[in-house]
A = this chain, B = another copy of it.
């Protein structure tokens, strides 16, 4: 279970950055920092970790470096999210069903 992807999207600032990149198509450290409550340097560090796990790719154009979402990798991350959610959901359902069965048995047997 690739934990790098999880920890990459575990950070709230990075999740917002992904949202911004999805909305705008692409962005630089400076443009992203303008819409975030952190400095450009912090954003740059986050971009570095997103880049390292492949969630984002950067192309340099002149003095600017534009980053863009890697859709395949983000899809993989979404799949992991859904997998964990589904697993827990299934367990919760099973527990609830069991509890109800016990409840019914108690009512029946007095």
Interface residues of A, Cβ cutoff 8 Å to B: 3, 6-7, 10-12, 15, 18-19, 22-23, 71, 74-75, 77-78, 81-82, 84-85, 87-89, 91-92, 95-96
Bound together, the chains give a CA A23 to CA B87 distance in angstroms of 11
Contacts of A6 in B (CB 8 A): 10, 12
Contacts of A19 in B (CB 8 A): 87
Contacts of A78 in B (CB 8 A): 85, 88-89, 92
Bound together, the chains give a CA A96 to CA B75 distance in angstroms of 11
Bound together, the chains give a CA A79 to CA B107 distance in angstroms of 32
User: Do B92 and A81 have beta carbons less than 8 Å apart?
Assistant: no
Contacts of A85 in B (CB 8 A): 78, 81-82, 85
Which of B10, B22, B71, B77 makes the CB contact (< 8 A) with A7? Answer: B10
